[in-house]
């Protein structure tokens, strides 16, 4: 398989609501790339709606950017998408420009390396949805503490048969599951 065929889009995901409603984001053929389903995103953003206006949002392991762009569409004040794959990061920048999503900033870097820096801001909401095969929930969750605003919300998505070890101070707020994934929203301790 040549490089061009490997990275060609498999399809798209659509932004469900807000100012960017109906906009489509490409889903390239990349190992481990698995966008959050429309059904799960709709449930999640129903939970989050009161917390979104003006929020600072971090989408680690951004992939297609579906979670981050949905947050921007629904009123988040600032969204940072962290993606280590250079081609995906380039695509995220292109989508932000195409959609005129000026509140979205793309960081092309490994998420754990980026979290290892000294924080320059605190986030109100974090999406923690790494590639499932990488088992990065625990190290990413442990590194998030200095980046979280008091009472921040953290969304975690994982396979149904996985129970990631998360910080003791995170309190379960809401949870759900589909046939394939478990997803939960936590509140960080103050």
Residue 154 CA to residue 123 CA, distance in Å, equals: 10
Half-sphere exposure of 44 (CA within 13 A, CB side): 30
Strands, sheet with 148-159, edge to edge from the N-terminal-most edge strand: 104-107, 78-82, 56-60, 123-128, 148-159, 181-187, 171-177
Mean pLDDT of 135-161: 95
Mean pLDDT of 16-38: 87
Q: Which two tokens stand for residue 76?
A: 């988040």
pLDDT band with cut points at 50, 70 and 90 for residue 37: confident
Ramachandran class of 8: left when φ > 0, alpha when ψ lies in -120 to 50, beta otherwise: beta
Q: What is the pLDDT of residue 86?
A: 95
Q: What is the pLDDT of residue 128?
A: 96
6 pLDDT above the threshold of 70: no
Q: What is the mean pLDDT of the chain?
A: 91
3 pLDDT above the threshold of 70: no
DSSP string, 65-134: -HHHHHHHHTT-SEEEEE---HHHHHHHHHHHHHTT-TTEEEE-S-HHHHHTSPPSS-EEEEEE---GGG
Provide the CATH number for the domain around residue 166.
Answer: 3.40.50.150
Number of structural domains in the chain:
1
Spatial contact of 166 and 182, defined as CB atoms under 8 Å apart = no
pLDDT band with cut points at 50, 70 and 90 for residue 11: confident
Q: Which 8-state DSSP code applies to residue 136?
A: -
Q: What is the pLDDT of residue 55?
A: 98
Q: What's the pTM?
A: 0.91
Tell me which residue range forms the domain holding 113. Answer: 3-187
């Amino acid at each position: 398989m040549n490089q061009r065929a490997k990275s060609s889009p498999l399809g798209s995901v659509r932004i469900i609501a807000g100012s960017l409603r109906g906009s489509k984001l490409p889903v390239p053929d990349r190992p481990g790339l698995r966008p959050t389903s429309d059904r799960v995103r709709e449930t999640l953003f129903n939970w989050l709606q009161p917390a979104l206006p003006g929020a600072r949002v971090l989408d680690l392991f951004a992939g297609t950017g579906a979670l981050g762009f949905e947050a921007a569409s629904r009123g988040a004040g600032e969204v940072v998408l962290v993606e280590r794959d250079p081609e995906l990061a380039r695509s995220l920048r292109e989508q932000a420009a195409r959609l005129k999503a000026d509140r979205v900033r793309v960081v092309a870097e490994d998420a754990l390396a980026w979290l290892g820096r000294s924080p320059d801001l605190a986030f109100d909401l974090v999406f923690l949805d790494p590639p499932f095969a990488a088992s990065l929930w625990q190290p990413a969750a442990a590194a998030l503490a200095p980046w979280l605003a008091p009472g921040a919300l953290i969304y975690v998505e994982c396979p149904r048969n996985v129970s990631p070890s998360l910080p003791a101070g995170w309190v379960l707020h809401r949870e759900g599951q589909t046939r394939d994934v478990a997803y939960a929203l936590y509140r960080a301790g103050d």
